[in-house]
Amino acid sequence: MKRILALACASALVLAGCGTKGGGSDSGGEGAGGVQTDVGVTDSEITLGVMTDQTGPFKNLSTGITHGNELWVKDVNAAGGICDRQLKLRIVDHGYKADTAKTLYPQIEPNVLGLVQLVGSPVTAALSGDLESDEMTTTPASWSSELLSNPYLMVVGTTYDVEMIDGLSYLQEEGMISDGDTVGHIYIDGEYGANGLRGARYYAEQHDLKLREVKITSSDNDLTNVVTGLRGQGVKAILLTTTPTQTGSVAAANKALGLNVPILGNNPTFDPLLHQSPAANALDKLYVVASSVPFSADIDKAREVARKYEEAGFTEPPNAGVPYGYAVAEVWGTVLRKACENKDLTRAGVHKALQQTTSAETGDLVAELDFSQPGAPATRQVYVAQPDASVEGGMKYVKPLFESEDAKGYKAPHQQ
């Protein structure tokens, strides 16, 4: 009898442990101001999640984005909050590891309304199903066009494939490459790299470029032998969909080996800390493509964010992540206000509000966004920047926002 009782108790415990996750809108209720609420919202607070990389290969960019998010939260709270509620961020570090993120997600999920930051293509891919089933509106700090199939993911900016197409057309326009040339592309294994490569392959097809592809992982930091090989293949340019550390290695080898070809990188490939690395004097051939502004952009809103960053006393050197993090949070602000107007701050309510938001004001921190075409990037405009140690944020514009003809004709993987 005792044995049966013990077995019954054990079964009950196991079943309790295996219970379904919270989330969704099934636990909703009416809160202060007659607003419907469910997860992550109380009568006085709205909690948003930040799943970031504080210890992995994108820790500097991610820290910049997080500080951008924090600056916005501070501003909004000082102005009285949203829907009479103060905003709060719950920050966790997954170190750019999908398995760690998988473990952290169930801990953060029952406490947040949505994710204002989710860093990393592999992490976003791993959590995509959970985000959809939990109706968790999320802004990935990852710009793969493959993500656009998930309606809960709001990609602010253009995507890696489009960045590459626009960037290559810039190199060609400037006479750095020509039709028929050989071009090397070093890319990280995974969605980030694959999406950058997709753009490069499309452009190579249109312009008869011979693409030499080299797949690496995010932890391969010495690329001297790879660049030695590309030199032997006579490349006229090197494309990068890599981490900033890897960019430093390629730039240093490009110079040391006397190759000296232009290097074109997707937006996460640069970090101002490269100016303090031994690769600093080898960055003159690097061109970075992105659709959000550099930290020191000559735009009112960017200057305002830069001033606030300084006043906040953050110790980390600023980067393009700061204005981007602020801009993304601004988009969130617009969505939350809309949800508040609709008297529905549940997850489903936030998603509905997002669908009703056709454009969000970011003070030009990111290119003009249009979310109305399902599966298509919200913009195809990019700017081209080059490293410049003399400006704060370490990058200067060399070409203002533009959209190439090749990018206009490109069809993203989930574009309808």
Partner 1 sequence: METFVQLVVNGLGKGAVFALLALGFVVIFKATEVVNFAHGSLVLFGGYLVVATRETLGWAGAVVVGIVGAGLLALLVERLLLSRSKLADPFSLALLTIGVDVIITEEIVRRLGVSLPFIGDAWDAQPIQAGGVTLFRTHLVALVVATVLITLFFIAFRYSNWGIAMRAQAENKEAAALVGIRSARVTATAWLVAGLLAGVAVLFIATQDFSGAGLSRGTHSIALAAFPAAILGGLDSTAGAIVGGIVVGLVDALSTHYVSFAFSKSAVFLVMLLVLVIRPSGLFGTRETTRV
Q: At its nearest, how many Å lie between partner 1 and the CB of residue 182? A: 14
- Residue 257 tokens read as 């080996």
214 binds partner 1 (CB under 8 A): yes
Alpha helices in 79-138 (DSSP H): 98-108, 121-133
Residue 113's nearest CA partner among 331, 332, 328 is: 332
Stretch that binds partner 1, among 81-89, 132-140, 224-232, 347-355 (CB under 8 A): 224-232
Applying CB under 8 A, which of residues 41, 48, 59, 406 lies at the interface with partner 1? 59
Query: What b/e readout covers 312-329, taking b as 16+ CB neighbours within 10 angstroms?
Result: eebebbbbbbbbbbbbbb
CA distance 283 to 285: 6
Stretch that binds partner 1, among 20-28, 54-62, 370-378, 401-409 (CB under 8 A): 54-62
Binding mask 250-269 for partner 1 (x = CB under 8 A): --x---xxx-----------
Q: At its nearest, how many Å lie between partner 1 and the CB of residue 235? A: 12
205 binds partner 1 (CB under 8 A): no
Residue 291's nearest CA partner among 320, 248, 333 is: 320
Query: Do 405 and 319 contact (CB within 8 A), yes or no?
Result: no
C-beta neighbour count of 189 within 10 angstroms: 13
278 binds partner 1 (CB under 8 A): yes
273 binds partner 1 (CB under 8 A): yes
Q: At its nearest, how many Å lie between partner 1 and the CB of residue 382? A: 27
**Which of residues 175 and 258 has its CB atom nearest to partner 1 in the complex?**
258
CA distance 59 to 66: 10
Applying CB under 8 A, which of residues 101, 118, 223, 369 lies at the interface with partner 1? 223
Window 305-344: residues binding partner 1 (CB under 8 A): 316
231 binds partner 1 (CB under 8 A): yes
- Phi and psi (nearest 5°) for 384? -115, 135
Q: At its nearest, how many Å lie between partner 1 and the CB of residue 203? A: 22
Would you list the DSSP string of 122-182?
HHHHHHHHHHHHTT--EEEE---GGGGGSTTB---S--HHHHHHHHHHHHHHTTSS-TT-E
CA distance 379 to 368: 7
103 binds partner 1 (CB under 8 A): no
121 binds partner 1 (CB under 8 A): no
60 binds partner 1 (CB under 8 A): yes
Element at 265 (helix H, strand E): strand 263-265
Q: At its nearest, how many Å lie between partner 1 and the CB of residue 54? A: 7
CA distance 358 to 374: 12
**Which of residues 29 and 232 has its CB atom nearest to partner 1 in the complex?**
232
Name the residues that contact partner 1, by CB under 8 A.
54-55, 59-60, 63, 189, 214-216, 219-226, 228-229, 231-232, 245-246, 248-249, 252, 256-258, 273, 277-279, 281-282, 316
